[in-house]
Homo-oligomer: A and B are copies of this chain.
Amino acid sequence: MENKHIQEIINKEFRCLDKGFIRLIEIMGDDSSIVQAARVSYGKGTKSIREDRSLIRYLMRNSHTSPFEMVELKFHIRLPIFVARQWIRHRTANVNEYSGRYSEMTSDFYLPEKNQLRTQSTINKQGRSNDLIDESLTDEVIKSMETSQKNSYNEYIKYINQGIAREIARINLPLSSYTEWYWKIDLHNLFRFLKLRLDVHAQYEIRVYAETIANILKQILPISFEAFEDYMLNSITFSSSELYLLKEVFNNVDLKSISDDENILSKTELNEFIQKVTFINENILNKNKGI
């Protein structure tokens, strides 16, 4: 059954951003390989699917990460260089990238959609906010970006035609240039990648790729992915300091009256704590409404 899903997905190009894509080239193993490897430790053979699911969830819950390393995935990815620069920081992967020294660069550049022209976020010091910049400017900005990309490329081609070696000619190409690579990684480290790059703090453009990978995994490794979502992605951790305040919440849902008399938490942390508790409350309310 899983095999069918895999066959449909293998080699399929999932578009990302304006000119990028992700293709799953090959996969070693599936949900059952994790169980198989874990059972070596227990000296026991395979069991029912129900028990397999329990075991996978148990492993994930208890950070028994080594069995998840027994599944390996290889992707072909096309992505802007500034995204590649963030991506490559994940060292537990194997990579072969297109070389601008061997081959001529293509004329493809990432051009953001207008609704991504957002202002600097004031909360998240790294990222963009939810607010668009002055709408009268967006057309102009996109136009200016596009022109700048075309000019850079024309210069690049001119340098090449003037006989300049490719490795020098390309140094003024923009970070928005598309590159591509083969990328191979095990499932444990891929989950770690997703945890970091699906996060709201990750740059939108890499998140688009992370979400595409998440969607692929959901289909071909349904049990592991569900466990990942439940215990890693959508879980909430309370620090030991927060645990002292949590009892008050247990007795008194009115967050305004939470007292941090003893200054256990810094102001920032107190805010984060309140956000978590609020999220939990709303989350459950949603569920009661039938979700």
What is A's interface to B at a CB cutoff of 8 Å?
26-29, 33, 36-38, 40-44, 54, 57-58, 61-63, 66-67, 69-70, 72, 74, 76, 80-82, 84-85, 88-89, 91-92, 94-99, 101-104, 110, 112, 116-121, 125-129, 133-134, 137, 141, 144-145, 148-149, 151-152, 155, 158-159, 162-168, 170-177, 180-182, 184, 186, 195-196, 201, 203, 229-231, 233-244, 246-251, 253, 266, 268-269, 272, 277, 280-281, 283-285, 287
Contact = CB atoms under 8 A, between A and B. Distances in A.
Nearest to A101: B126
Contact of A203 (B101, B152, B164): B101
A42 B172 contact: no
Contacts of A163: 119-120, 133-134
Given A66-B95, A101-B127, A280 B165 contact: no
Contacts of A269: 57, 61
Contact of A40 (B84, B134, B167, B180): B180
Contact of A167 (B127, B186, B272): B127
B98 A41 contact: yes
B172 A43 contact: no
Contact of A236 (B66, B155, B186, B238): B238
B236 A98 contact: no
> Chain copies in the assembly?
4
A177 B173 CA distance: 10
A172 B148 contact: yes
Given A172-B149, A280-B250, A165 B129 contact: yes
A263 to B, nearest CB: 13
Nearest to A129: B165
A116 B171 CA distance: 13
B118 A168 contact: yes
A239 B230 contact: yes
Contacts of A287: 244
Contacts of A277: 250
A152 B280 CA distance: 46
Contacts of A72: 28, 72, 184
Contacts of A280: 243, 246-247, 250
A74 B70 contact: yes
Nearest to A103: B43
B162 A174 contact: no
